[in-house]
Amino acid sequence: MELFWHRRDLRAADNVGLAAASGAGDDSDRGPAAPVFVFDPSVLDHASDVRVRRLLDGLAALRDDYRERGSDLLVARGDPEAILPRLAAALDAERVVWNRDYSGLARERDAGVRRALDAVDVAREAHHDAVLHDPDAIRTNAGDPYSVYSYYWKKWTDRAKEDPAPAPTEADLADTDRLAAAADAVDGADASGAVADGGEAATLGAAVGDLPTPADLGFAEPDATVGPAGTEAARERLDDFLDEAVFAYEAERDYPAREATSRLSAFFKYGEIGVREAYAATEAAMAEAESDSRPEDAPEQVEEFQQQLAWREFYTQVLFHNPEVVSENYKEYEEGIEWRDDPEEIAAWKRGETGYPIVDAGMRQLREEAFMHNRVRMIVASFLTKDLLADWRHGYDHFREHLADHDTANDNGGWQWAASTGTDAQPYFRIFNPMTQGERYDPDAEYITEYVPELRGLDADLIHEWHELSPTQRANAAPEYPSPIVDHSERREAALAMYKRARGEDPDD
């Protein structure tokens, strides 16, 4: 018996650590595996209503998958350093196995768990699973981690990729009686190991398949709808996307109204689909793209999608090598950036009431769907940092709270890219014009009017000229929709001056 600890890998299929622990697909004498998820209070401290809802949905799908395989999911609550050694003892497990998580906080937690298991002589094993290439595996010829994506991509795409890991069958998994006995032995124990009278904060919890509600964990149901969860839903979405949309991905991906992207980000974030499985499916699409049945440019379209999977891995290795970027600029500015940080402007941005239609549509999509289209994420992030001159950390915190797909590496990478503080970031003098961006990427204002009802029924041209209309014209056209809270041209100049000062340059040059 081995104990498999699920974290950001809520799937049974293509799960490297689980395949090893359960002995799936090979004739080793390993397994069966008892799967567990632990609600860790110190991780929940960083969670949000949206992400707790999404996590619980993913766990319900995982539990159901295990039930179909004749087993179940152990659901525990407490400090993993206290829970895992006890569960391992109750199961008489030979070892505890998990997949690596590369963020700084997760690595600290895992070091604590390693020490706790070592102290009681329980073997443990960590696997590489979350990305195709280990964050330490792709380095420059001089041996340094990459900070420029295009060079990273060249090596990433040339490297051989692992095949998907085999999924466990019923014989590879612990039966429910063993799981129930282990849960009983641990449930109600206090953190020091004795069975408590119950009720204390440090009491450990364990049950078979019994998931808490958000309220049990101290969270509320989110206002946003978070979308489907689980491996089956992820596979459906991937298949659907690779069936047709991928062959026009590069051409269409920047247009938010066209639904031309995969919408797989939350599935990747919770690890509900394996990267090896997803990549193999894109390779099958590539083979089709290279056949006569598809237009000549189809391979480039598919490659552009593979490039996004590589961006995810690029940012994973940036965070792995620079864990401090969660709160600090990656790129140092000689004099430091003097952000303007006007609380009212930041609040208007969060509410989606800036008077810049594409920005407001994006911020409202976030609130309603816990998601935002990539092009629009870039626009709203540029607007916050370079029109409102607000520190990217305000935006990052807001996204962290509201995005179902919030991923520390990608979110941080995206924000620092937009703020020109990141690795391989947008140069500081490249400042998006939010009106031109809206006109170019949402020419018929379909996306805008989907999320900004005050502008429905207006001519798209009028919407894209909103900043140029007189107050009377605005009041006549859409009395409920705000006027622009800032003047883009003025703020553009102010932003350039802010960055020049930060670089130690004369802002008037």
**What does the binding site for ligand FAD look like in residue numbers (CB under 6 A)?**
253, 261-265, 268-269, 308-309, 311-312, 315, 374, 377-378, 381, 399, 403, 405-407, 410-411, 413-415, 418
| 108 burial type by CB count under 10 A (0-12 exposed, 13-18 middle, 19+ buried) | exposed
Cβ closest to ligand FAD, residue 80 vs residue 414: 414
User: Any long-range contacts for 340-344 (C-beta under 8 Å, 24+ apart)?
Assistant: 340/388, 340/389, 340/390, 340/494, 340/498, 341/389, 341/390, 341/391, 341/394, 342/388, 342/389, 342/390
Q: What share of the chain is helix, strand, coil (3-state, %, to 5)?
A: 50, 5, 40
Q: How far is the CB of 460 from ligand FAD (least distance, A)?
A: 24
- Ranked by CB distance to ligand FAD, the top (closest) residue is 414
The residue behind tokens 């083979």 is 287
CB 201 within 8 A of CB 188: no
Cβ closest to ligand FAD, residue 100 vs residue 253: 253
Beta bridge pairs of residue 75: 37, 207
State the Cα–Cα distance between residues 351 and 21, nearest whole angstrom: 47
Q: How far is the CB of 57 from ligand FAD (least distance, A)?
A: 17
Q: How far is the CB of 134 from ligand FAD (least distance, A)?
A: 17
The residue behind tokens 């490249």 is 430
Q: How far is the CB of 394 from ligand FAD (least distance, A)?
A: 12
Residue 102 vs residues 81, 273, 319, 414, 451: alpha-carbon distances, Å:
18, 18, 8, 17, 35
For the residues of 218-282, what is the DSSP string, one character each?
T----SS-----SHHHHHHHHHHHHHTGGGGHHHHTT-GGG--S---HHHHHTT-S-HHHHHHHH
Cβ closest to ligand FAD, residue 377 vs residue 464: 377
Cβ closest to ligand FAD, residue 277 vs residue 411: 411
Residue 88 half-sphere exposure, CB side, CA atoms within 13 Å? 25
Cβ closest to ligand FAD, residue 253 vs residue 491: 253
Q: How far is the CB of 130 from ligand FAD (least distance, A)?
A: 11
Cβ closest to ligand FAD, residue 63 vs residue 394: 394
Pairing status of strand 33-39 against strand 123-127: unpaired
Cβ closest to ligand FAD, residue 241 vs residue 499: 241
Cβ closest to ligand FAD, residue 250 vs residue 439: 250
For 223-253, b/e burial (b = at least 16 CB within 10 A) is ebebbbbbbbbbbebbeebbeebbbebbeeb
Q: How far is the CB of 491 from ligand FAD (least distance, A)?
A: 19
Cβ closest to ligand FAD, residue 149 vs residue 481: 149
Q: How far is the CB of 507 from ligand FAD (least distance, A)?
A: 26
Q: How far is the CB of 453 from ligand FAD (least distance, A)?
A: 23
Q: How far is the CB of 392 from ligand FAD (least distance, A)?
A: 8
